[in-house]
Chains A and B, each alone.
Chain A
Amino acid sequence: MTQITHHIPDDILDAWRAGALSHPYAVVVAAHLSLCDECRAAVETADMIGGALLDGLEGQALDAGARQRMMDALDTPAPPPVRGSGVFPAPVVAALGGQPPQWRMLGGGIRQQILSADREGALRLLYIPPGRAVPEHGHRGLELTLVLQGSFSDSEGAFLRGDVETAHDSIDHQPVAGPGAPCICLAATDAPLRFHALLPRLLQPIFRI
């Protein structure tokens, strides 16, 4: 595993733990946690505090039959776990519905698959050939981008597998895919992206990027 240097910011991790993130952001956080032991340990540490508080709670009596119902339920089969596949960790496989990605061409060799797009925001996979730039864009809200394969770099630095870029609406950036394997990344926004060139803007409603 490569060394992950760009992590989920604390406030976003806290929001994920509280269940307060919209679906697109939550998938990016879960995918990063699947790859990043440091952030997973941060969640576990917070849960240790929760566990200590739980231990200190005054219990409430359960229904008289609750214990027996519980013991009777132990033979029900466990739900099968979702497993990762290739470069896609389990939460991305779940967002793909268990299917391999079905890329759509965006031009210039860039491909994408939209995994969800609704009032909660948009989640998509992007495939960028080595050395190719994603059109320069700013965005209205927060964009979280997780690298799953290859790398990209922009004004904020270099991002490798497992790294997350947290881009607020003030950042105008032009990610360029690194050499070697094509860059595959998972990107979540809470609003459609703004592209600066006229043509991409016209195409925006068609491609929903």
Chain B
Amino acid sequence: MDEPVIQALSSQTCDLIAVRDQRDRAAFGRLFDHFAPRLKAMMVKGGLRDGSAEDAVQDVMLAVWHKAAQFDPHRADAAGWIYGIARNRRIDLARRRPLAQPEDLPEIESDAPDPAQILALQQEASHLVAALCRLAPEQAEALRAAYFDDIPHSRISEMTGLPLGTIKSRIRLGLERLRHELRKIAP
């Protein structure tokens, strides 16, 4: 891949590409060091106890190793792709039946990347982080709850004492704001 593209990618995304293309165990180790503690925090927030949270982290990271051939930097960055795998794992631990999943994307031709699209996506990701930082604290909190706490909206309302409509509109406003931020960069 071209030098400017590599420089624009997050180091996690580069490591994931190395895992994908070279089955690079050292790169995988770095991904583990970065994501495993955060994934554990996500699983604990989602209601798992310490031991189950650790097991879930192992499941997620093993799936990252096994599914790396499907990682496509044109479509996602490493954090988003790994979050998606973790989200599904968390859901399946809570469901009677595993959640039906879409068909795997065809494996990536690693020799035909489109640098412009990868760069655009990476830019979108960093603008997204900037947009998250600009959210009002209560919007950011509601968004985190929607993504990690795995609590139906009615429970959020019980906990915070806010009427349901307000919570829903906060989550919606937070997402709308993010969409708006993204549209400004990539219409």
Contact = CB atoms under 8 A, between A and B. Distances in A.
Interface of A: 16-21, 23, 26-27, 29-31, 33-34, 40-41, 43-45, 47-63, 66-67, 69-71, 73-74, 76, 78-79, 81-84, 89-91, 94-95
Given A48-B128, A63-B54, A33 B61 contact: no
- Looking at chain A's contact residues, the main secondary structure is helix
B128 A52 contact: yes
Given A53-B143, A57-B41, A48 B58 contact: no
Contacts of A82: 103
Contact of B76 (A48, A58, A95): A48
Main secondary structure of the interface of B (DSSP, over half): helix
A146 to B, nearest CB: 12
Contacts of B182: 45
Looking at A20, A30, A51, the one whose CB has the most chain B CB atoms below 10 A away is: A51
Contact of B83 (A54, A76, A90): A54
Contacts of B37: 59-62
Residue of A40, A41, A45 contacting most chain B CB atoms (<10 Å): A45
B40 A52 contact: no
B178 interface: yes
Interface residues of B, number: 63
B167 interface: no
A55 B62 contact: no
When A and B form their complex, which 9 residue pairs have the shortest distance between CB atoms, in order from nearest?
A59-B37, A19-B91, A51-B79, A51-B80, A90-B103, A33-B102, A48-B80, A78-B66, A30-B100
A30 B102 contact: yes
Interface in B16-71: 25, 28-29, 32-33, 35-42, 44-45, 53-54, 57-58, 61-62, 65-67
B124 A48 contact: yes
B61 A58 contact: no
Contacts of A20: 152
Given A31-B102, A60-B44, 15 more contacts: A19-B90, A26-B100, A31-B100, A34-B103, A48-B128, A49-B128, A50-B84, A52-B80, A53-B143, A57-B38, A59-B41, A60-B40, A62-B57, A71-B29, A74-B28
B44 A47 contact: no
Contact of B40 (A48, A59, A67): A59
A60 B80 CA distance: 19
Contacts of A61: 37
B8 to A, nearest CB: 16
A47 B99 contact: no
B125 interface: yes
